Amino acid sequence: MKSKMKNHARAVVAMSCLLVAASVATAAAAGFAPKQFASVLNRSMSMTRSAARPEVKISLAGLVERDQGGVPVEKVAAVNPGETLSWTITSQNDGAGAARDYKTVGQIPRGTEFIKGSAQPENNAEVAYSIDGGKTFQSQPTIEEKQFDGTTKHVAAPVSMYTQVRYEWSDGLAANSKLSASYRVRVK
């Protein structure tokens, strides 16, 4: 399980870095036709070198809740069914520019289940969940449930189906600042 937790940490960091890079790249390219993009890219690359840019570093810390406290995941040989893991994602912008439309995604490791209501972001981030491996996110994911009369009805998806939790800050990640978000899962 220890290697799964380390893989989880790598996956979250990689996913978060991709989201930040995508947000920054999208903002730079918005509104340009493909032919215009090449000439604008050359000009903007020289301007970007002198312009304020974000430099975001992301870290993931996991604790196994034991004996009225937390033990870092990397110091635990194994986790047991029923134990709770607490994950904290910290994003720090050491750059001179803000990371606009900033999002970070936490994975819900296989063999665990998200604990409802445990997503706690700093600074009022919007929280959304995925039940399809990160393809889509919703604040309240739903599934179709077949009714006795043969019709289908959309109902809230059980938290056991959650695969990721995403935090999105409307104000972004300001230069020389940091944000954190946490969530908890229970080992099945």
The answer to whether the CB of 54 falls within 8 A of the CB of 20 is yes
Task: Give the span between the Cα atoms of 9 and 142, in whole angstroms.
Answer: 27
What percentage of the chain reaches a pLDDT higher than 70?
73
Given a cut of 90, whether residue 18 has pLDDT beyond it is no
Residue spans of beta strands (DSSP E) within the chain: 56-66, 69-72, 84-93, 103-107, 112-114, 120-121, 126-130, 142-146, 152-156, 164-168, 177-187
Number of domains in the chain: 1
Give CB contacts under 8 A, 24+ apart, made by 66-71: none
| Span of 33-37, 84-88, 125-129, 160-164 with lowest mean pLDDT | 33-37
pLDDT digits (tens, 9 = 90+) for 25-64: 333 333 333 333 333 334 444 444 447 899 999 999 999 9
Task: Give the span between the Cα atoms of 106 and 182, in whole angstroms.
Answer: 9
Which CATH number goes with the domain that contains 163?
Answer: 2.60.40
Which residue would you say has higher pLDDT here, 124 or 54? 54
pTM of the model: 0.71
pLDDT on residue 72: 96
Given a cut of 90, whether residue 139 has pLDDT beyond it is yes
Domain range for 52 is: 2-187
Please report which helix (H) or strand (E) contains residue 24, including its range.
helix 2-29
